[in-house]
Amino acid sequence: MSLPEDVIQGSRLAISRLLTQVENNTPEGRQVLDFLFPYTGKAHLIGVTGPPGSGKSSLVNQLAKEYRQSGGAGGRTRQVGILAVDPSSPFSGGAILGDRVRMRDLAGDPGVFIRSMASRGALGGLSASTSAAAQVLDAAGFEIILIETVGAGQAEVDIARLAHTTLVIEAPGLGDEIQAIKAGILEIADIIVLNKSDQAGADAAERALRSMLELAHPLPHVFDSHHGTTVIQQVKETAGWITPIHRTIATEGKGISELIQWIAHHAKYLHDSTEWLRREHARWQATLDELLRESLVARWRSSVPEERYREIVQRMVARSISPWRAVDLLTDKKDA
């Protein structure tokens, strides 16, 4: 059989090979993805983000186990893909470590597929390769895809936008500075999970989260495609969905099956409203924009001699031409 057919059949070896090609952005990988694309669209993509120390990895493991054992709300077990994305690690390493810890818990279950994604030094390319990896798992029949991001910065917010449902994980006592971060990521949360909820300060943390949620002004989702860059205003339409705060203790498996019910509720809400379609639109538009950027730059690069480019940079360093003038020289008037 061919690689795409093997992936559709769920061959782990084929999936692994394709994911490597996807990460390395090979022409063959793109071709296979192209072929597989019509087979995608069945998976529920669940983003899991939150500050360091909130216990995201444990929670993701517990969710995977529960989906495999009880099948969650529907009673039907489903295959679970886990993409562990680490944007803070341009040199990789961190995510791989977390992976080994996971292997102990979930190893040997053929219904679970785990992959670490590091940014490999490519600015802005990580959300494209995560999107592509999710397509591979989707085509391979993984109906639940958990996309976990390490950290809580802009890159994580971008990646969360890939998901249909976004869980933001918090925990008591993560310090003051984290409060500032929360303000940004709370607004992308469909479900807020207060993990480690047996620890001191849990009630205070829940109150703080609740008042921050109330402060977060609901705005309609705007996707300004004329802006040159992708606008992130993935703000909740609170009319239809009130973001719940759900307590868990992931290390003891507490609150996990209820969390899966919340996720199922959210999926139902997405389908019953126009929200699922709207998110699909936003997701593919973002993916398209990123690929377009990449394609336009690559095409331009091949049209400008490397020497010319280096000379222009040299003149910028000498402060003899400004960056904007350099862009003009390199695009408008190549013979200037």
Binders of its own copies among residues 19 to 78 (CB under 8 A) are: 30, 33-34, 37-38, 40-41, 51-53, 56-57
Shorter beta-carbon distance to its own copies: residue 112 or 312: 312
> If you count them, how many residues does the chain have?
336
305 lies in the binding site for its own copies (CB under 8 A): no
74, 67 contact by CB (below 8 A) = no
Which amino acid is it at 235?
A: V
Nearest Cα neighbor of 291 from 25, 1, 16 is: 25
Reduced to 3 states (helix: H, G, I; strand: E, B; else coil), residue 334 is coil
Of the candidate residues 111, 125, 244, 253, the single one contacting its own copies (CB under 8 A): 125
CA distance 325 to 282: 34
Query: Least distance (Å) from its own copies to the CB of residue 263?
Result: 22
Of the candidate residues 24, 76, 93, 107, the single one contacting its own copies (CB under 8 A): 93
CA distance 120 to 84: 14
Shorter beta-carbon distance to its own copies: residue 108 or 228: 228
149, 166 contact by CB (below 8 A) = no
11, 3 contact by CB (below 8 A) = no
8 lies in the binding site for its own copies (CB under 8 A): no
Helix (H) or strand (E) holding 84: strand 80-86
Of the candidate residues 87, 141, 172, 255, the single one contacting its own copies (CB under 8 A): 87
Where in 184-213 is the site for its own copies (CB under 8 A)?
184-185, 187
- By CB under 8 A, which span of 162-170, 199-207, 245-253, 285-293 interacts with its own copies? 285-293
CA distance 228 to 213: 30
Query: Least distance (Å) from its own copies to the CB of residue 70?
Result: 28
Shorter beta-carbon distance to its own copies: residue 317 or 336: 317
Of the candidate residues 75, 91, 242, 336, the single one contacting its own copies (CB under 8 A): 91
CA distance 25 to 3: 16
Shorter beta-carbon distance to its own copies: residue 38 or 75: 38
- By CB under 8 A, which span of 60-68, 203-211, 231-239, 245-253 interacts with its own copies? 231-239
Where in 139-158 is the site for its own copies (CB under 8 A)?
150-158
Interacting residues of 40 by C-beta distance below 8 A, sequence separation 6+: 135, 138, 139
Query: Per-residue string for binding with its own copies, 307-336, x by CB under 8 A?
Result: --x--xxx-xx-xxxxxxxxx--xx-----
Residue 249 per-residue DSSP state: B
Shorter beta-carbon distance to its own copies: residue 118 or 260: 118
281 lies in the binding site for its own copies (CB under 8 A): yes
Shorter beta-carbon distance to its own copies: residue 57 or 197: 57
Phi and psi at residue 82, to the nearest 5°:
-125, 120
Query: Least distance (Å) from its own copies to the CB of residue 71?
Result: 26
Where in 100-119 is the site for its own copies (CB under 8 A)?
119
CA distance 228 to 264: 36
CA distance 83 to 68: 16
Helix (H) or strand (E) holding 180: helix 176-186
CA distance 153 to 170: 14
273 lies in the binding site for its own copies (CB under 8 A): no
Query: Least distance (Å) from its own copies to the CB of residue 195?
Result: 12
Query: Least distance (Å) from its own copies to the CB of residue 260?
Result: 24
Query: Least distance (Å) from its own copies to the CB of residue 207?
Result: 19
Shorter beta-carbon distance to its own copies: residue 261 or 314: 314
CA distance 81 to 41: 14
